[in-house]
Amino acid sequence: MNPIFYFLLALTAVLASTANAGGPVLDVNGNFIFSGSYYVLPVIFGAAGGGLTLAPRGDKPCPLYVVQDTLEVNKGIPVRFLNWRSRVGFVPESENLNIEMDVKATVCAQSAYWWVVPSDRDTRTWVIAAGRKPEAEEKSSRSFFQIKKSGGFPNGYNIVFCPSGNDCMNVGVSVDENGVRRLALSSRPFPVVFAKATKPKTPSKTMSII
């Protein structure tokens, strides 16, 4: 058959599948994000720092928090996107999903799913910590995030936290008293791009920038 026919057929299938879901999230090369691991990198390369990794706070090895590497050359630990409700193969925009750091194990002997938790130093600040796998039967609204387009940046996105469905808060970067760049709920977004991870996954030890 005519190749155009196959293209139109595929396009129709994509449009039909997205009727009840957000459009596809794209990686830095403009490709759909499906399963697999992706580095989360600042949309502006340079002084904005590098990718995401895990680090404790102070002299306690646990719990672990999601932080940004201070060196722009470090891509950090890739993430996986999981558990969106619509039946589409790609990762959709503006739909609740879980985010997991793609590391086999941590020094805290726990999974590395993103959770919103109060800071242990400032209860007015909510930070992103690594925690256990959310159970399907529990109300785990503090482990759900959404990905929304970031205006002005090609294939740039903001990660947001939407506890009530519509009242969303940006996941930004908060610099603590030690200069560590921690992911936290913020009025200012942290525009990012997603780059497919092609290198071997991070070893089963935690990367720390402290």
> What is the reported pTM?
0.83
Q: What distance in Å separates the CA atoms of residue 202 and residue 17, rounded to the nearest whole number?
A: 34
Closest CA to 131 of 117, 145, 120, 121: 117
Q: Spell out the per-residue pLDDT of the chain, length 210, in tens.
A: 454 533 333 444 444 444 446 899 999 999 999 989 999 999 987 777 999 999 998 888 899 999 999 999 999 999 999 999 888 999 999 999 999 999 976 778 778 999 999 987 777 889 999 999 887 655 568 899 999 999 888 899 999 998 766 688 999 999 988 889 999 999 999 999 999 998 655 444 444 444
- Identify the architecture of domain 3-196 in CATH: Trefoil (2.80)
Q: What distance in Å separates the CA atoms of residue 82 and residue 97, rounded to the nearest whole number?
A: 6
Q: What distance in Å separates the CA atoms of residue 94 and residue 177, rounded to the nearest whole number?
A: 33
